[in-house]
Structure 1
Amino acid sequence: MPVVIESRRKKAETVAQRWPGATVADVTSKGPEPWVRFSPFFPHGGIPIPNTSHDTAASVEGLWQGLKVFEKEDIDPKKWAVTDMRNIKRAGASRGAVRGHRFGVGSGTLLGYREARFRIYLPAYAWVLKNRLAREIERLREVARAGTVVLLDYETNADVEDLSRPLSHAALVRHFLEETWPEQPAN
């Protein structure tokens, strides 16, 4: 099952030359239907917030950004309700440095970046792949059985342990298709 990750920033001609005959799926928030549904910004709705009994988020990115904690600002539950894929990111000098991610609503546990990636982001994205994108996953598997699939993403970091760059969600799609989902190593 040949599934490769390429940068969406590359020219379409460059990708086509490198992967002749491949099916190209832009899985970013700028991609076409149905592939845009793989974007972490896509508002699937009902995504469980880890370590929280009743609250859910519309998107994986909204969940991730909403649980982010800064020096001068705690979680922002409004991010869980964003459905237009805009203004989800939280940053800025006025909030201070990022301290971590809160492990659920009302939790006193503040996770570092690596642990938050494994305990918040990966479970939330896996939930979406299993519960909201089963039909699209099967379609990608069928296409991959017939030939190469190129997944376009803005980020190309496929190593969940590489914290120096944002993680490619296209790489997570590949892991899911290949049944090689990254598990958090025992400490």
Structure 2
Amino acid sequence: MPVHVASRRRTTLHRDFPGALILDVTSRAAEPWVRLSPFYPHGGIPVPGHPDRTSQSVEGVWQALKVFATEPEDFTKLGVTTMKGIKRTVRRLGPPLGHRLDGRLLGYEEARRALYLPAYRWMLDHRAADLVGELRDLAGRRTVVLLDYTTNGDVADLSAPLSHAALVARRVGEP
């Protein structure tokens, strides 16, 4: 059975997915599913382009390499273990110029492909493989719905943030 992705804010989940196992995989989820959140501090996550650095979380990689007109990369974000205070926001710093990799600024889609996807995939395969396997087993027996704040699973769709739950669902469906 496929794994579905739905908004955490959706109010019709039980009607739309009768009998489904509904699992929140956001930073507000309960154990063990919170470990699928990109904010979760697994530790030891390789930072693309920086062989000497690791991050506590996938979100730490994403935020650390973001560059703003008024602020360069912020490698302190790699060490955040609280799942709070990790975001570097447009409201505070203005629009980002991109993400720096190997001395050059990447556009948003390129950064998703070169930074976020490899970091998140590494985390799934090396820090949460047990949960991916459990989801695979569960999905073989019943409908599973993963909750996230966004449901955009298309890396090229820049109109909405990328859903990590969609990445999990895709990974669960792979051999």
Question: Pairwise CA RMSD of aligned residues?
Answer: 1.3
SS at match of 2:31: coil
CA distance in 1, matches of 2:29, 2:51: 33
The alpha carbon displacement at 1:6 in A equals: 0.7
Measure how far apart 1:94 and its partner are: 5.3
Inter-CA distance 108–140: structure 2 relative to 1 (3 Å threshold): same
Hey, what's the Cα distance between the residues in 1 that align with 2:25 and 2:61?
Answer: 19
Contact 1:68–1:75 at 8 Å: present in 2 too?
A: yes
Q: Which residue of 2 aligns with 1:17?
A: 15
> In the TM superposition, what are the counterparts of 1:16-55 in structure 2 within 5 Å?
16-55=14-53
Aligned positions of 1:1-187 closer than 5 A: 1-11=1-11, 14-92=12-90, 95-103=93-101, 107-179=102-174
One-letter amino acid of the counterpart of residue 72, structure 1: T
Question: Deviation at 1:92?
Answer: 3.9
Contact 1:2 1:147 in 2 (8 A): no
> How many angstroms does 1:93 deviate by?
5.1
Instruction: Assess, with a 3 A threshold, how the Cα gap between structure 1 residues 46 and 9 changes in structure 2: closer, same or farther.
Output: same
The letter of the residue matching 2:135 is L
* TM-score, length-scaled by structure 1: 0.90
Structure 1 portions without partners, runs of 5+: 181-187
Moved more, 86-95 or 157-166: 86-95
Q: Distance in 1 between matches of 2:6 and 2:93?
A: 34
2:8 and 2:147 in contact (8 A); partners too: yes
Are the aligned partners of 2:3 and 2:169 in contact in 1 as well (CA < 8 Å)?
A: yes
Change (3 A) 1:150 1:94: closer
User: Paired residues, what number?
Assistant: 175
SS of the residue 1:165 aligns to: coil
